[in-house]
Structure 1
Amino acid sequence: MTVISTSRLNISLMTLNDADLLFELDQDPAVMKYINGGRKTTRKEIDQVFIPRLASYLNSEKCWGLWKVFNKEDYFLGWILIRPMDFFTDKPQFKNLEIGWRFKQTAWGKGFATESAKAVIEHIVEQHPDIIKFSAIADELNTASIGIMKKLGMEYIETILHPDVEGDVDVVLYSTFLSLTNNSN
């Protein structure tokens, strides 16, 4: 199992046996505010929706999945998402990886999301030089996530309809291009 380490963090891919961590994280309404309005995720939703979704894109060889982030004291802080942008559509973008994050409120404002996202991006670029960009989406009111996007070197592209939820939910799309010489999808 690959473990990415920084001076403060240990980061590794979640497995399908990590449902307890997903459930634990989603029990704070503040964490869920910009995900679903603050509703806690039920254990049934974790087991019947989130774990099967994770199973559909989890691929350690390609570095896709949820990267669990722990501090050096082995305390779970949150996760970093990596999968092809538009994965759940009929046109996934395999060279444009979606990056996302969800962290416990106790980890907010300490740079953990940015630090772990940078480390995961660096690892992926080293392993897969054919990746041409990383993209992220967020609720336009989620200034903390947008701040992380900017710290990762991403720029605002456009406001779009959220690709993974039912109904009309607008999100902002930010991207960073790694190489203009690689072929796109």
Structure 2
Amino acid sequence: MRPSRMALYLETDRLLLRHFTENDAELLIELDSDPEVMRYLSGGVPTPPEKIRREVLPRLLDQYEKWDDMFGTFAAHEKAGGEFIGWFILRPKAEGPTDEVELGYRFRKAAWGEGYAAEGSTALLHKAFTELGMRMVWAETMFVNRGSRNVMKKIGMTHVQTYWPDLPPIEGAEQGEVRYEITRDEWELGGASGSRAVG
């Protein structure tokens, strides 16, 4: 299903990002049911469907209201055919500075290796720094998640920290978590661009 233009948050050459709605629980359930998708998040354990319906989706919807639709978690669809491929995050920490936001994403396995993570993330950086007035964007992943780390490097982010949080028993957890950052000044020097924001 192709998202209506009214729901769009941002678009790129190949992707449409939109707000989730209360009717999207099954999309999230399917995404989180793939052990490979969840490998670096829960050790491959699916998110229980009832948790998605009762906790995860309501929390995502509440975030739009909290941040006046500027930040949150956004469903990602391929422009060609409208297929749901996963989601992107652009949001501040609840207790953190309001001019720093987290960038993240989670995709269905069928969408891996297509360059969507870098394409959508590049567009979100552009929106964060040109429209939303952010000073810095950060992202975190497990050290062993080489694919995500490569995306962070590709879009101009710099590794600033490796740390060892209290993680579930996931293979590779002993190597820690990594944090990457990019400031608006660094982004401007890099000349990054490539998004068309909607709304």
Same fold (TM over 0.5): yes
Structure 1, unaligned runs of 5 or more? 181-185
TM-score normalised per structure 1: 0.83
How much has 1:52 moved relative to structure 2?
3.8
Residue of structure 2 equivalent to 1:139: 142
**Cα separation, 2, equivalents of 1:31 and 1:84:** 24
Contact 2:42-2:168 at 8 Å conserved across structures: no
Q: 1:81-100, aligned counterparts within 5 Å?
A: 81-85=89-93, 87=94, 91-100=95-104
C-alpha distance in structure 2 between counterparts of 1:76 and 1:10, whole Å: 9
Offset, 1:67:
1.4
1:95 positional shift: 1.0
Paired position in structure 1 for 2:86 = 78
When normalised by structure 2's length, the TM-score is 0.78
After superposition, the Cα gap between the structure-2 partners of 1:42 and 1:92, relative to the gap in structure 1 and judged at 3 Å, is: same
Identical counterparts, % of pairs: 31
Give the paired residue count.
Answer: 173
Contact 2:163/2:177 (<8 A) preserved: yes
Residues 31-180 of structure 1 correspond to what in structure 2 (within 5 A)? 31-59=37-65, 61=68, 63-72=70-79, 73-85=81-93, 87=94, 91-129=95-133, 131-162=134-165, 170-179=176-185
Query: Runs in 1 of length 4+ with deviation above 6 angstroms?
Result: none
Where in structure 2 are there 5+ consecutive unaligned residues? 1-6, 187-199
The question of whether the paired residues in 1 share the 8 Å contact of 2:20 and 2:60 is answered with no
User: Are the counterparts in 2 of residues 16 and 54 from structure 1 also a CA contact under 8 Å?
Assistant: no
